[in-house]
Amino acid sequence: MALDLETREQLLDMVARFVAGRLRPIEAKVSEDDAVPQDVIDEMKSLGLFGLSIPEEFGGLGLNMEEECLVGIELGRTSPAFRSVFGTNVGIGSQGLVMFGTDEQKAKWLPGIASGDIITSFALTEPEAGSDSASVQTRAIRDGDDYVLNGSKRYITNAGKASLFTVMARTNPETKGGSGVSAFLVPRDLPGLSVSKPEKKMGQQGAHIHDVTFENVRVPAWNRLGEEGEGFKVAMQVLDRGRLHIAAVCVGVAERLIRDCVAYAGERKQFGQAIANFQLIQAMLADSKTEALAAKALVMETARKRDAGQNVTLEAAASKLFASEMVGRVADRAVQIFGGAGYVADYGIERLYRDVRIFRIYEGTSQIQQVIIARETMKQGG
């Protein structure tokens, strides 16, 4: 159920004030330390950010897709590392359980996910299965009342702190493609599950990714999400929502960069006047603003369609493709407008330039989004 307009505006105002007053001032420190302070994480919990998309009956805010995207835009106005702290709880780490979990599974885990006491991760990518997600090689072999998991996953966000993983594993080794893959809820404390040290990354310091290894991990059959062989369906529906969320965050980052550029261009003087007076600077601002507006319109229209119960696989892929490519262009123009100041760390522009690069990769690369868009367009006849 959608929030009433007054409640929605209060929520967005609260998030905006938290971003501006609490998060933006410590962006540089978080990047330098490669860690989000625990007291900030505790504040995120108290604000309900870990449970944005979790149904109210389990302690979450129960936002619909349009509302989640509006919050995502506000969160995009600061370092993406902050959103990543709770992003898996809101999106790919929880939505398989929300969409496909049994009543008992939901009752066991969703309240802790909503409060932030349980951190979730989504374990799909493998050394040989990234864009080709149907080529999952991690095995889950049935043994009595359990499945025995063996394999490894790569680049898993929040795995270092996760206490519950949604894991895609092949339950039918004789079947190729997605039809042989099933989804499992795997608690971190099961024997045989191990997590590597965090990877060193190009950007988004403070958000961590890890390898996760399963060596004869016995998972109760009760922990399976949906029926055997439905894992690929679970993953794709989770990713539809996740792509919209990421697209909204891209819009927020772009809007923040544009505002920073406008402020800097109004202050920076060359040839005796503010560089904002130069038409070539204005052209870069105009292109960035136009693209950000177009991305926002596409994201919000798609979110409303999803809330209305329509299939938005094509539109979600288009939103993610356009918004993630757009914010990359906006960040590049921002460096150009700031000039030398954009290349050094003082203004944070170079940090955001690096941070946004990942948006064109996770939740499916831009090339995978193109494949999905083309496939769905041909299905629909144009």
Please say if 27 is a catalytic residue. Answer: no
Catalytic residue among 255, 315, 363, 376: 363
Structure tokens at 5: 């307009």
Buried b (16+ CB within 10 A) or exposed e, 49-64: bbbbbbbeebbbbbbb
The set of catalytic residues is: 363
